[in-house]
Amino acid sequence: MNKQAIYNYIDQNIDKHTARVQEWVKQPSVSWDNLGVEDCAKLVARTYKDLGCSEVDLLEGRFHPGLWAYYDAGATKTIHNYCMFDTRPVANADKWNYDPWGGELVQYGDFPKVVVGRGALGAKGPYVAFLNALEAIIAVEGTLPVNIMFLAEGEEIMMSPAYKHFVEAYSHRLKEVSASYCVMGSQSADGSVPIWLGMKGMVVLELSAKGANWDKGPSTTIHSSAAGLVQNLPIRLSQALASLVDNGGRCVVDGLEQIWSYRKSIATDEEALLQGLAQRFKGKDWRNALPLGGTDNIAEIVGGMNGMDPLKNYLYGPTMNVSGLRSGFIGMGTHTNPAISPGVATATIDLRMVVEMPAQEIIGSIRKHLDSHGFTDIEIDVLADYDFNQAPCSFSSLDALKDTLHSWDVEPVVWPLNGGGGPWTAVANAFGVPCIRGGAIGGGGNGPGNIDEYLVIEGNGKVAGLAESEKYHVDALFNFAASL
């Protein structure tokens, strides 16, 4: 590898690379609002083609398209690369200081230059930095050190309902991969970089009570003056939800209740990672250290504040969460009417668990529970069903990534798990390969979903700018490829 020539290419083309970040940010792709996602898929496809991918195919998702692309480097090893190109909505554009879809270059805080816009940080900007690095390698070396199978989706914010199906559709190709490489800029304000070795299993369901399925409720919305003549569907749904848990929020579904008492055994090397995290957060209230919104937002933590309990409960503890309820009248400005008895009521729930039980088995247990408790009419729509996955705490490719960070004088912060869940586990589970997330310098602030979201273009000495991030990606990819 002619590293210096690649670095020079990045420096000479940084304006073009910045413009590519801006182009992606300027293209709306709000999946829940059906805003611009198809056009963004075409933009992603064009970027893959410009990179030199020999195959670029649009895929039919549940709501929005995905993409398959293949770069044939003629290498002996192949990696899978995940991409999400949809973003969260912009619900408060009037509070932004910049156009959410403007992709403006501005000075922000102590950063001389950032790109501001929805998706700048989550996750278009960091991903484009990776693609820019690939372009630079190809321009100088003629090819990449590994073959890459790109599998992109435009439904991540919708809980990735189709990504597993994409993986299944291309299983005859993906079986060749040696790793799922999801390395992206995720640098913290202090300059350190997190690396996540796994994710919980995640199940996301919509439970619906419909009068059409239950002869005691209205099949369509009726005036509430007649509510005394029918059963109420929102109450029906609330009773079904209440049957799933006890008063303390612990699941009581037969076959799942033991998970609330179970904890994955923690190996010595994993315990060492936890001790390192605890030391890193020493003196900090867990309500500020974990994604809880701070001490002003949470009065007390379930399970207590003793020692590492909150950290372990966050990473290893199960969740059953109701994320949304909708039915009938939902407030002013929504074109709905309060004088009704609704014909349908829906709840969105998610479960996240560190357990070897397949997601489909979890869903089956919930279906069986509802049926046995007299709720055969409650419909279940599956939005996501991803199994738990965790890579070892030490293996050659992880060491290569950590060594690359150290060579850049950056501290890697290794998390044994991420408290979330999602499509990143799909390839790892299907083909028995490790998946690494995070692990790259560069980043931004006002995270995904917030006002004035931004990606750093020119850094502040702690958080790297775009050129530095791209150069790091060059080093990381070559080192990772050599470790396979």
Q: Does the N-terminal peptide bond of residue 123 adopt cis geometry, omega within 30 degrees of 0?
A: yes
Residue corresponding to tokens 């895929």: 59
DSSP 142: S
Q: What is the pLDDT along the chain (484 residues), one digit of tens a residue?
A: 999 999 999 999 999 999 999 999 999 999 999 999 999 999 999 999 999 999 999 999 999 999 999 999 999 999 999 999 999 999 889 999 999 999 999 999 999 999 999 999 999 999 999 999 999 999 999 999 999 999 999 999 999 999 999 999 999 999 999 999 999 999 999 999 999 999 999 999 999 999 999 999 999 999 999 999 999 999 999 999 999 999 989 999 999 999 988 888 899 999 999 999 999 999 999 999 999 999 999 999 998 888 999 999 999 999 999 999 999 999 998 889 999 999 999 999 999 999 999 999 999 999 999 999 999 999 999 999 999 999 999 999 999 999 999 999 999 999 999 999 999 999 999 999 999 999 999 999 998 889 999 999 999 999 999 999 999 999 999 999 999 9
The tokens describing 185, both together, are 């800029």
Cβ 293 vs Cβ 283: under 8 Å: no
Q: How many CB atoms lie within 10 A of CB 463?
A: 23
Class of domain 3-197+391-483: alpha beta
d(CA 338, CA 341): 9
| For the chain, counts of helices (H) and of strands (E) | 14, 20
Class of domain 203-386: alpha beta
Strand pairing partners for 454? Answer: 116, 445
* CA 446 and chain centroid, separation: 16
Residues in the chain: 484
> CA angle, corner 36, sides to 34 and 38, nearest 5?
90
- In sequence order, which ranges of 142-232 are alpha helices (DSSP H)? 163-169, 171-174
d(CA 248, CA 68): 44
Q: What is the pTM of this model?
A: 0.96
Q: Where are the domains of the chain?
A: 3-197+391-483, 203-386
Residue corresponding to tokens 């949470």: 298
Strand pairing partners for 300? Answer: none
The tokens describing 310, both together, are 């909150």
Q: Please report the sign of the dihedral spanned by the C-alpha atoms of residue 161, residue 317, residue 302, residue 189.
A: negative
d(CA 264, CA 77): 33
Cβ 427 vs Cβ 208: under 8 Å: no
